[in-house]
Amino acid sequence: MQIGEASRATGVSAKMIRHYEQIGLIPAADRRDSNYRDYGAEDVHRLGFIRRARDLGFSIAEIGDLLRLWGDRDRSSRDVKALTQSHIRELDAKIALLGEMRETLAHLVHCCDGDNRPDCPIIESLAGAAPISH
Amino acid sequence: MQIGEASRATGVSAKMIRHYEQIGLIPAADRRDSNYRDYGAEDVHRLGFIRRARDLGFSIAEIGDLLRLWGDRDRSSRDVKALTQSHIRELDAKIALLGEMRETLAHLVHCCDGDNRPDCPIIESLAGAAPISH
DNA sequence: CTTGACCTTACCATGATGGGAAGGTGCAAG
DNA sequence: CTTGCACCTTCCCATCATGGTAAGGTCAAG
């Protein structure tokens, strides 16, 4: 099948399929006489794998590791589990950071009247100790 | 003061200070005879404002809006509050997305023995063999 | 034979930041 | 005075994952 059909079948844009090939995440696709890329069931399967991993927030580098583990019959599930736990920790760190921002802002919003007057604890907090002189 | 001192005083790298000037987020700094940028108290104050907003996850465009509101004596706190609430909703969306990833992965990790054998529900789920349930 | 859908490569853009090269400036110590 | 060093300048390139667009080739149906 052509790249467009493979894209539709997997939810990975044709643009990204070419990109993944270019950076070596997937092997170079077969070519027809027309020079069009040609994809088979295995390629589509691999692209589906990549899309699911991407949807779970794995980076390209991590997806490369996962693909290697996927293709390795002698892999230990320990390795996969460790990679995944490491990724969960990354997610937890991001969530914690965003959560802190969210709470700080929620507090400021709570303290802000939100009326027509200029007095605003949000701006004052961003401005820090001393107001600008004008 | 020179850019390095302004950087140290605000926690914004010299690189980013030049960048903010280049994209028009801050006015072009005064120059000395040496062509070195020269920063005063007001500039440092503004950079501190930017750094705090950045630390709360505001985008450059949003920080531009906040700077305009900061400098506008006739602003209504309503506008600042609305901008902040909009940003909180963005943060909530990101947190929810990351949280979903996290929970899905936590479930898979829980189901994975993590031993020397290759059988691994994590890889199987990515491969599309089984739906991701939680 | 044209039209339109599809493909190809190549280049540029995002947002926020860092790295580094090549060269100018300023100040203190030799 | 010269050397050395810290600091500054501009310019270009890289990240990560993705999209856009342009210029052109391929192919099937009308």
* Residues 6+ positions from B122 with CB-CB distance below 8 Å: A77, A80, A81, A84, B105, B108, B109, B112
Residue A129 confidence (pLDDT): 58
Between CA A13 and C1' D20 the distance (Å) reads 13
Which strand C nucleotides have any atom less than 7 A from protein CB atoms? 6-9, 15-19, 25-26
Contact: B80, A120; criterion CB under 8 Å = yes
Which strand D nucleotides have any atom less than 7 A from protein CB atoms? 7-10, 16-21, 25-27
Instruction: Report residue B130's pLDDT band, with 50, 70 and 90 as the boundaries.
Output: low
pLDDT, one tens digit per residue, over A7-49 is 999 999 999 999 999 999 999 999 999 999 999 999 999 999 9
- Return the CATH number of the domain spanning residue range A1-75: 1.10.1660.10
Residue A134 confidence (pLDDT): 29
Instruction: Report residue A73's pLDDT band, with 50, 70 and 90 as the boundaries.
Output: confident
> Which residues share a beta bridge with A30?
A38
Domain extents for chain B?
1-74, 76-134
pLDDT, one tens digit per residue, over A94-127 is 999 999 999 999 999 999 988 888 889 999 999 9
> Which one of A51, A95, A126 would you mutate to disrupt binding with B, by most B Cβ within 10 Å of its Cβ?
A126
> Which one of B77, B83, B95, B104 would you mutate to disrupt binding with A, by most A Cβ within 10 Å of its Cβ?
B77
Q: Looking at domain B1-74, which of 1.10.1660.10, 1.20.1250.20, 1.25.40.10, 3.30.230.10 is its CATH number? A: 1.10.1660.10
Amino acid at B114: G
- Per-chain mean pLDDT for chain B: 91
Instruction: Report residue B129's pLDDT band, with 50, 70 and 90 as the boundaries.
Output: low
Q: Which two tokens mark A19?
A: 């990109």
Distance from CA of A39 to the nearest CA of B (A): 17
Other residues' Cβ atoms within 10 Å of the Cβ of residue B113: 13
Q: How many residues would you count in chain B?
A: 134
pLDDT, one tens digit per residue, over B36-89 is 999 999 999 999 999 999 999 999 999 999 999 999 988 999 999 999 999 999
Name chain B contacts of A113, Cβ cutoff 8 Å: 77
* Residues 6+ positions from A21 with CB-CB distance below 8 Å: A27, A28, A29, A37
